[in-house]
Amino acid sequence: MDRINALVPELWCSDFDASLHFYVEVCGFSVGQRRGDDKHAYLTLGESQLMIGTWEQDGTWESGPFEHPYGRGINLQILVDDARALRERIREAGVEVFVELYTTTYWRTHQTDERTEFAVLDPAGYMLRFTQIESETPHP
């Protein structure tokens, strides 16, 4: 890996192998860094980066008890080139789509974006929102 983003979510998982399979084989992420058989990996998809790993509850990093689904109250937006193709790839792998594919408009400070997106839950229950920017219209 050449560059590490300024913000990289680290997702703790109860079944590292299932999560690694999901991210790499199902969603198309690449392993950017991994030390041997260590249960921790740095993953990339386009310009998106995240880490997955197992944990030992010792009071250091956990703000409360872990209960499935993890990551309640957060979804991770991941920009992709082709949301429709990724949705099909995920469905073909037998993964249920949590929020079905839809197109919507988002207002941004300098422009309005039309986006197509959908969401799935990873094996640990983290919500991933895969988003494709269809068009950008500058504000007058």
> Domain residues of the chain, as ranges?
10-56+72-138
> Alpha-carbon distance 83 to 33, whole Å?
25
Lowest mean pLDDT, pick from 35-39, 43-47, 55-59, 109-113: 55-59
Query: Which helix or strand (DSSP H or E) is residue 17 part of?
Result: helix 16-21
pTM (2 decimals)? 0.90
Residue 8: pLDDT band by 50, 70, 90 thresholds? very high
pLDDT of residue 126: 96
Reported as a single tens digit per residue, the pLDDT across 15-40 is 999 999 999 999 999 999 999 989 99
pLDDT of residue 27: 97
Domain at 10-56+72-138: CATH architecture = Roll (3.10)
> Alpha-carbon distance 117 to 80, whole Å?
9
Residue 92: pLDDT band by 50, 70, 90 thresholds? very high
Q: Please determine, for residue 87, whether its predicted confidence score (pLDDT) is greater than 90.
A: yes
Mean pLDDT of the chain: 92
Lowest mean pLDDT, pick from 1-10, 75-84, 95-104, 120-129: 1-10
Reported as a single tens digit per residue, the pLDDT across 62-76 is 777 778 888 888 999
Beta-sheet pairing, 30-33 with 10-12: unpaired
> Running DSSP on this structure, what letter comes out for residue 72?
T
